[in-house]
Amino acid sequence: MTIPAREYACDIITDMQTTFNYVVGHDWAVSLLSRSIEQGRIAHAYLLTGLEHIGKSTVARALAQALNCTAPSPPCGQCRACKLIAAGRFPGLHWVAPEGNSLKIDQVRTLQHDLALSPMEGRYRVAILEGMDKATPEASNALLKTLEEPPTHVVVVLIALEAESLLPTIVSRCQLIPLRPLSVETVRAALVERWNVDHGLAEVLAHLSGGRLGWAVMAAQDGSVLARRAQSLDDLLRLTRLGRVERFAYAEELSGDLLAMRETLNLWQTWWRDVMLLASGSEAVLTNLDRQAALRDCANRFGVDQARAAASNLAQTMWQLDHNANVRLALEVLMLDLPKAVA
């Protein structure tokens, strides 16, 4: 089972000359990092956490620029170091992402070898390790040695969905920077102003994004993202009318692509939350704004209790999957518990 490359190759935002100025939202993280650089109190290691496509890589890259920028108020985005880092071609930037399904000890060893060299250019060698959640125990333990005895002129930036999935001994050696979802309004405004997305589409995507600007930009630029979403919602509605055999077949299909599975379960959760809101007569803003008729139909069919149970089952399944549950089994239980539409 392999994870498609897109999770790690999602660098849409970095087409631009990423500097702190281009980081949308995450103000406190940016000001904390700029201040620590200004005051020369740079940590040996940082841990950036948050949902997929929330901006972790963008912040990491801007930090690498700030550490190596030669302008008086870094990062300038214009100097040689800033430009090379934005283009991913700076010799002192070491970007490591999982190979296939895991981040492996050989990758950490290669990195350690590179980090032991003194910087050829720039002030710091910056190691960015993406997908630390997927590090094997051997890779984690090997990396721990670097964190315990960091080479001078090296800054390590770890990227993970959540700190809880890493070794506590790794987390305790990092400055933790948890990135939170952006507001709907921040995502909407950024789509319109920086990516020239049409107002109507920006409104829909901002609500669908769950505060993940990277996802919204990707969806605006790549029509297949919204097409996949539409398919997953159609699948959900179809599944409520189907029996065990078809549901198990769907679970099997879904378990074949872990990244798509996570996206689908997240989406379904927003769906049942919307159904719950409508069924309970709440005035809160819906996520799936563009599908109100189908949401109302579900609200009438299933009512607030079934919608709440469905959302809570999804949350539980996602928690189990994040904590190494058997994927097929967890999905099959989820499928059995999906609300059943009475014909």
10 Å Cβ neighbour count for 155? 22
Total of chain residues touching Zn ion, rule CB under 5 A: 6
Is residue 128 part of the contact set for Zn ion (CB under 5 A)? no
Q: Is 201 in the site for Zn ion (CB under 5 A)?
A: no
> 284 vs 233, 275, 295, CA distance in Å?
21, 11, 14
H or E element, residue 333: helix 327-337
Q: CA angle 228-12-268, nearest 5°?
A: 30
76 binds Zn ion (CB under 5 A): yes
The answer to the question of residue 79 lying near Zn ion (CB under 5 A) is: yes
List Cα–Cα distances, 255 to 178, 243, 311, in angstroms: 28, 19, 19
Nearer Cβ to Zn ion, position 71 or 176? 71
φ/ψ (deg, to 5) at 103: -95, 120
Comparing CB distances to Zn ion, the nearer of 86 and 275 is 86
Q: How far is the CB of 193 from Zn ion (least distance, A)?
A: 23
**Binding span for Zn ion by CB under 5 A among 49-57, 63-71, 202-210, 294-302:** 63-71
For Zn ion, which is the closer residue by CB, 77 or 214? 77
Q: 103: exposed, middle or buried (C-beta count within 10 Å: 0-12, 13-18, 19+)?
A: buried
Q: Say which amino acid occupies 172.
A: S
List, edge to edge, every strand of the sheet that includes 45-49. Answer: 93-96, 125-129, 154-160, 45-49, 175-178
- Give the shortest CB-19-to-Zn ion separation in angstroms: 7
Phi-psi region of 210 (alpha: psi -120 to 50; beta: other; left: phi over 0): left
The smaller minimum CB distance to Zn ion, of residues 15 and 164, is found at 15
Pick the piece of the chain touching Zn ion (CB under 5 A) from 70-78, 99-107, 148-156, 210-218. 70-78
Q: Of 62-70, 125-133, 245-253, 285-293, which part binds Zn ion (CB under 5 A)? A: 62-70
Q: Which residues contact 67 (CB under 8 A, 6 or more apart)?
A: 37, 42, 74, 122, 123, 124, 126, 155
Task: Give the range of 79-87, 153-161, 232-240, 255-263 binding Zn ion by CB under 5 A.
Answer: 79-87
**Piece of 27-35, 64-72, 85-93, 258-266 that binds Zn ion (CB under 5 A):** 64-72
Residues in 16-45 that interact with Zn ion by CB under 5 A = none
Q: How many CB atoms lie within 10 A of CB 74?
A: 22
Asked if 82 interacts with Zn ion (CB under 5 A), we say yes
Q: Does 71 bind Zn ion (CB under 5 A)?
A: yes
Question: Could you say whether residue 62 binds Zn ion (CB under 5 A)?
Answer: no
Among 60, 69, 239, 335, binds Zn ion (CB under 5 A): 69
Binding site for Zn ion (CB under 5 A): 69, 71, 75-76, 79, 82
